[in-house]
Every structure is written in C-alpha cells, then in structure tokens.
C-alpha cells in the first residue's frame, strides 16, 4: 500500500499527523515525521485507533428501535428506509412545531471540517436550534477575549528557548503528550517546569516545582504573584506603558492581595507564592499553559483572566497558551453555511439537560458526541431523551450510551475511512487527511448523509456543495501555499495572526477590561468563594481514553475515587472499599483509592466514568453555567461520601 497521510481528529491539544503504512504485512499507524511537533511518538489512543476502526462495537448498519428506551433494542434496516424516516420526521416536526423544535447536538468527537462542520449546512438551512458549544473551552475563550481581544497564545515553536514552563491547572503529561514532550526537551536545555494543581497530578509529579492551591482559588494566587511583581518592581514598566491600559486600576486591586492574605485563601505558604513570583521574574521568557481543565469550575473564566495578566506584567506578548483556534484565518462559516443561513435559536450545551427534559425539542440529531454520558445533569437529560414525544437520531461510529436513547442509529465512518482537513488548536501544521481504509459495513461519512437528507428535503444546491470546493473556500488565503498543494499531500502551515496584535477596543492589552464592563462583568478578575459543604470532586482526563472513546479497546473507565488517607481514616474508609458519592443531584458508587495524591477535602475521579451500578458520574454534576462564557463547573462539584449501607 502506498503511504497514506492522515491526521488524528480527536479533541486533543496535539492533532498528530500520521502515516498509515503497510509494514511486515500489517497495516500500521505511525507518527508522520513532516510535522516536527507531533513526530516521534503516538499516544495510547493514537496507537489504538486502527483497532477501534475494526472493533466489535462499531455501528455497521442503520438501525431502527424496536424496544423501549433505554435499551439497545434495535432492528437492522436499509439506508433508504432510514433516510426516508428521518426526512419524514424532520418535515413533520417543522410542520407541527416549527424548525426551532429541531435540535442538532454535536461536539468535537471528530474535529474535521467535513465531519464536524459540513453537516451544519443542512441544519442551518432548516434553521434548526443548535447548542452554544459551551461544554469545553468557551468560558476561557470569553475570559481571554476581555483582556486580549482574541484568545490565542503561543505556537510550539514560539515556546522554544523559553526558560520557564508553567502548567497551571493543565495536566499536560496526560492531556497533551506532545506539548509535555516539548517542555521536557526544553528542560534538557535548562528550562524549569512548574505545575500548579490542587492534587499530585502526573504533571505535578514530573515537575521541578509545584504549588497546590485549594480548588477554585487561582484568582487569589495569580493576584498574589502580581502583588509581588508590582510591589517589588519586578514588572516590565516599558512594556506595560506601551502595550497595556488599566495598570493603575490593576495595581489598586492587586494591592489588596498581599501574600499573607493569598496564603490564607489558597492554602499555599507565603514562601511558595514568593518563589513562584521570583521564578517568573528571573526566568524569562516564560510560557504559562492555562488548562482547559482549570476553566471548568465556578471561578474558571475568572482564573483564566487573572493568570493571563501575569505575562503582560512580565513584558511578554501573549506569554501563554490556552488554545490557538482563534489564531487562524480560516473561514468556518463557509463550511457551516452560516454565511447564507444562521440558526435562530442557540441553547446552552452545559444546561441542555434542562431544555431537553422540558420537551422543547421534538427531533434531536446527535453526532460526534456522546451526550448521554458527557453532559451535566444526566438524570434530567436521560429523562428528556426518553420522552415519548421526542425522536432521537444518532449518527456515530460506535454504539454508546446515547444509542440507548436513539430511535434511529446511523453508522458513521471513522476518520481512517474518509478524507478531511483538521484544523489543530495547538500547532499550525495542516495536511489533507486521506482515507486510509475502506468504510466498514454500510458506514457513510457526514457529507454523504448531509446530501442524502438535503435531496429528500428539497434543499437548495448550496447545502450539498462539493466538499472539496467547500474546503477550498474556507482555507484559501488561510494557508501558506495553495489549496492544490494541500490536496496533493503537502504539509503546510496555517497563516497566523501576530502575537503582538490585540483585538481590544484600545488595540492594547486591557488589564482593566472596558469590554467586560459593557458585558456586565467585573473589569478586573474577581473571585467567588466556594461555600458548598462536603468534598470538592475534581475529575480530569486519563491517558487511555478520549472522553468516553476507546472503552472498546481498553475496557471501562475505572470507577474509582481517590481520597486522602486522613479523610479516609476519619470516615473509616479502607483502600479498595466501595463508597457512595452523593449530592442533591444524585449518587454514584465507586471504589475508594486511599492515596496522598489528593489533599484533605478534595476527591479525584477519572472523568465521565460509569459507576458500579451503571450510573454516570455526570449525575452529580449540576447544569450550572458560568457567568462568563456559559461554561461548565465540572471541577466545583461538591459531594458527600458515605459507605453503601449507611444513610449519610
């Protein structure tokens, strides 16, 4: 087989470029050496993707429900029958309830422009309701925008030569193996690595220096650092003068956060706060990685704001990395069709359970996502999906929890079975991701399905425009090179906005944000104190899974909770014992791991697990949305803990 170049489209910081090759009679997926950043190695998921394409859990044919929900009671049907039923349901819903009763729900299961965005041409033409994509990164984007205009930060090559890498609420050793590898390479040249995390994460364990603040107190910690930088005149006056506005107001706020107060709020000793500030001022340039993880909490957006202001005081243009998706010039609206027709109603993805439970939608189309495990408020969501007046269509590569609530399940091709272009959010390499293997069973890709439905619904021609032409229009002018170069298999670079451009009203870094005032937020970062009782349950990514994917290869996500030995002793809980985590939203039953990786009062579980009774972790997570950006609060969930046979 000739070499096929493909790109891992997972929701991942790294977006690895891959080669599918025939080696020793076996088809293998290997890292592509043309992308300097992701060459070298693949993660556990990249390695398993080929297996996943051939796994027993694939949806291989269209299926129609023939037993009640929730269940996998389906019978196999043909594509034309399936498409006719779906088209009919869409027509009926519009006739009886209007187009806003149609909902499409998706996220970044496959980040390809064609796999993720192309289908929206159909939904946007129909003016179906969509979600606001707030489940992951939106609050952080909104936060950074207040001070910097667009939220982008440094590219991998702009981090080379950095003397200090700070991973702040960012477990890169697990969540971004290639950014982590870059930091390790720079450490070999003398750079220092710091991790800031309430628990001993994998990144903390491998760092040179770490700080363990109480969950949700990073605003205070960042103010503490700024307090020292300003009061000890360690900040860059010329830079502040030239590139920022609002220093006076920031200084005034910062003066209220002396290290002693910060220490009280965060639980971090004064000497560590001081050490952090000193390292920041000594080791320049630095890059601060602001985690997607840290911004998924009540103070998430506020923490991102506060942390992002540190590099500005140090005199570094965008001395952070959050995600770089806003740094490219690609025109996504050309792919989604939003240029021509926009949705009239956009609902919260984080609080989607509330809308669905109320029966606001009569037809729900789910793809690229497994909401029946990954969204907050699972009890409500599942009740809503099981309503008799809601018709649910799922278009996925694999059977999953959402299938339990689908009326029709349609088989999608995996990324190895279709061609696409994936825009990364870390580096700026781009390549045409070619089909590497034949579609399994009767699986079809997103462009095919979009066009088949468009035909049946009498959509105008633009809805089903040639996918290659769509890509050309979206990418022309956004890549270094021609679209033909890209199609011919060359690895190109995306053009990037400059690091020192700030798209704020003043054109400068707005330390004191005038935009925030207009939007009704505080102009400076502010902190809400977590007042809930019980334990804070942190939950984050683990190495073998991308959210709920790869369970078919690696087995279930471990149903465990980590608890500090002193807390365990107080509650009489032994290592390996079953415990119940509960709050006002429900309960889950998991095995306790008594370890000093978590401090007192804090618990940690792998995210999106299913408990020992088959209940999702997200039963415990409320549909609360953050004020800035509407993001989730996964890392501010308060729970109590009891033994299974006690009543708590």
Chain residues that interact with ligand MGD, rule: CB under 6 A: 11-13, 107-110, 115, 135-136, 168-171, 174-175, 196-199, 201, 213, 215-216, 218, 291-294, 296-297, 367-371, 374, 395-398, 400, 412, 414-415, 538-541, 543, 545-549, 607-608, 617-618, 621, 634-635
Angstrom distance (rounded) from CA 149 to CA 433: 32
15 lines the binding site for ligand SF4 (CB under 6 A): yes
Angstrom distance (rounded) from CA 259 to CA 529: 18
Nearer to ligand MGD, 247 or 425 (CB): 425
Return the number of other C-beta atoms located less than 10 Å from residue 332's C-beta: 16
Q: Looking at 6-14, 81-89, 379-387, 429-437, which segment touches ligand SF4 (CB under 6 A)?
A: 6-14
Nearer to ligand MGD, 319 or 606 (CB): 606
Paired tokens of 521: 């937020």
Q: Which residues pair with 76 in a beta bridge?
A: 63
Helix locations, 283-322, DSSP H: 300-314
What's the closest the beta carbon of residue 383 comes to ligand MGD, in angstroms? Answer: 19
What's the closest the beta carbon of residue 581 comes to ligand SF4, in angstroms? Answer: 29
Q: Is the dihedral of CA 600, 606, 607, 611 positive or negative?
A: negative
Paired tokens of 354: 């509330």
Q: Looking at 13-21, 80-88, 464-472, 625-633, which segment touches ligand SF4 (CB under 6 A)?
A: 13-21
What's the DSSP call for residue 616?
A: B
Angstrom distance (rounded) from CA 576 to CA 592: 5
Angstrom distance (rounded) from CA 447 to CA 351: 29
Q: Looking at 38-46, 370-378, 383-391, 494-502, which segment touches ligand SF4 (CB under 6 A)?
A: 38-46
| CB of 372 closer than 8 Å to CB of 409 | no
What's the closest the beta carbon of residue 70 comes to ligand SF4, in angstroms? Answer: 29
181-240: contacts with ligand SF4 (CB under 6 A) = none
Nearer to ligand SF4, 30 or 77 (CB): 30
Contact residues for 36 (Cβ-Cβ < 8 A; gap 6+): none
Longest dimension (CA), the chain: 73
Angstrom distance (rounded) from CA 258 to CA 273: 10
126-145: contacts with Mo ion (CB under 5 A) = 136
Q: Looking at 9-17, 70-78, 132-140, 288-296, which segment touches ligand SF4 (CB under 6 A)?
A: 9-17
What's the closest the beta carbon of residue 609 comes to ligand MGD, in angstroms? Answer: 8
What's the closest the beta carbon of residue 504 comes to ligand MGD, in angstroms? Answer: 25
416 lines the binding site for ligand SF4 (CB under 6 A): no
Q: Looking at 41-49, 141-149, 302-310, 550-558, which segment touches ligand SF4 (CB under 6 A)?
A: 41-49
| CB of 57 closer than 8 Å to CB of 552 | yes
Q: Which residues pair with 592 in a beta bridge?
A: 561
Torsion of CA 334, 337, 343, 347, to 10 degrees: -60
Among 5, 6, 14, 217, binds ligand SF4 (CB under 6 A): 14
Site size with ligand SF4, rule: CB under 6 A? 12
46 binds, among ligand SF4, Mo ion, ligand MGD, none (CB under 5 to 8 A by kind): ligand SF4
Q: Which of 598, 548, 631 is nearest to 141 (CA)?
A: 631
Task: Give the interface with ligand SF4 as residue ranges (CB under 6 A).
Answer: 8, 10, 12, 14-16, 42-43, 45-46, 177, 546
């Amino acid at each position: 087989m000739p070499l096929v170049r493909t790109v891992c489209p997972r929701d991942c910081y790294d977006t690895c470029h891959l080669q599918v090759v025939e080696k020793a009679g076996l088809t293998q997926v290997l890292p592509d050496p043309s992308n300097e950043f992701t060459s070298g190695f693949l993660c556990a998921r990249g390695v398993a993707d080929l297996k996943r394409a051939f796994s027993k859990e694939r949806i291989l044919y269209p299926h129609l429900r023939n037993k009640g929900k929730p269940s996998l009671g389906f019978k196999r049907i043909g594509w034309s029958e399936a498409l006719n039923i779906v088209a009919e349901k869409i027509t009926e819903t519009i006739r009886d309830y209007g187009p806003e009763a149609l909902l499409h729900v998706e996220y970044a299961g496959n980040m390809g422009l064609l796999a993720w965005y192309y289908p929206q041409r159909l939904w946007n033409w129909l003016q179906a309701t969509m979600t606001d994509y707030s489940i992951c990164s939106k609050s952080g984007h909104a936060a950074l925008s207040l001070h910097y205009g667009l939220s982008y930060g440094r590219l991998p090559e702009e981090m080379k030569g950095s003397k200090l890498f700070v991973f702040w609420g960012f477990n890169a050793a697990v969540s971004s193996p290639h950014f982590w590898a870059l930091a390790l390479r720079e450490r070999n040249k003398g750079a220092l690595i710091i991790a800031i995390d309430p628990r001993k994460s994998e990144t903390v364990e491998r760092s040179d220096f770490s700080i363990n603040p109480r969950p949700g107190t990073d605003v205070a910690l960042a103010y503490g650092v700024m307090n020292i930088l300003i009061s000890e005149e360690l900040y860059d006056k010329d830079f502040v003068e030239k590139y920022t506005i609002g220093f006076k107001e920031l200084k005034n706020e910062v003066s209220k956060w002396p290290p002693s107060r910060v220490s009280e709020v965060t639980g971090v000793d004064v000497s560590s706060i001081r050490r952090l500030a000193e390292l920041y001022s000594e080791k320049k340039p630095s890059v601060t990685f602001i985690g997607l993880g840290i911004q998924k909490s009540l103070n998430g957006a506020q923490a991102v704001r506060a942390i992002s202001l540190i590099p500005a005081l140090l005199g570094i243009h965008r001395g952070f990395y959050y995600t770089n998706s806003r740094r490219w010039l690609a025109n996504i609206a050309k792919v989604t069709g939003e240029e021509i027709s926009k949705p009239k109603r956009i609902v919260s993805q984080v609080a989607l359970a509330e809308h669905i439970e109320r029966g606001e939608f009569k037809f729900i189309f789910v793809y690229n996502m497994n909401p029946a495990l990954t969204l907050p408020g699972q009890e409500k969501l599942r009740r809503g999906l099981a309503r008799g007046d809601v018709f649910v269509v799922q278009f996925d590569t694999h059977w999953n929890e959402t299938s339990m609530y689908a009326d029709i399940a349609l088989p999608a091709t995996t990324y190895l079975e279709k061609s696409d272009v994936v825009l990364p959010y870390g580096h700026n390499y781009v390549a045409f991701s070619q089909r590497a293997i034949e579609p399994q069973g009767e699986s079809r890709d997103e462009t095919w399905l979009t066009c088949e439905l468009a035909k049946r619904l009498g959509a105008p021609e633009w809805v089903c425009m040639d996918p290659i032409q769509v890509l050309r229009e979206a990418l022309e002018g956004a890549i270094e090179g021609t679209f033909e170069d890209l199609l011919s298999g060359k690895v190109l670079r995306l053009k990037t906005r400059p690091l020192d451009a700030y798209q704020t009203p003043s054109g400068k870094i707005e330390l004191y944000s005038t935009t925030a005032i207009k939007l009704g937020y505080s102009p400076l970062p502010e902190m809400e104190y977590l007042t809930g009782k019980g334990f804070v349950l942190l939950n984050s990514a683990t190495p073998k899974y991308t959210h709920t994917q790869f369970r078919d290869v690696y087995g279930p996500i471990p149903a465990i909770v980590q608890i500090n030995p002193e807390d365990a002793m107080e509650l009489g809980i032994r290592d390996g014992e079953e415990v119940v985590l509960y709050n006002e939203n429900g309960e889950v039953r998991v095995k306790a791991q008594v370890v000093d990786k978590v401090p007192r009062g804090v618990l940690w579980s792998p995210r999106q697990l299913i408990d020992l009774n088959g209940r999702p972790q997200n039963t415990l997570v409320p549909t609360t949305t953050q004020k800035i950006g509407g993001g989730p609060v996964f890392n501010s969930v308060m729970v109590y803990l009891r033994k299974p046979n006690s009543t708590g």
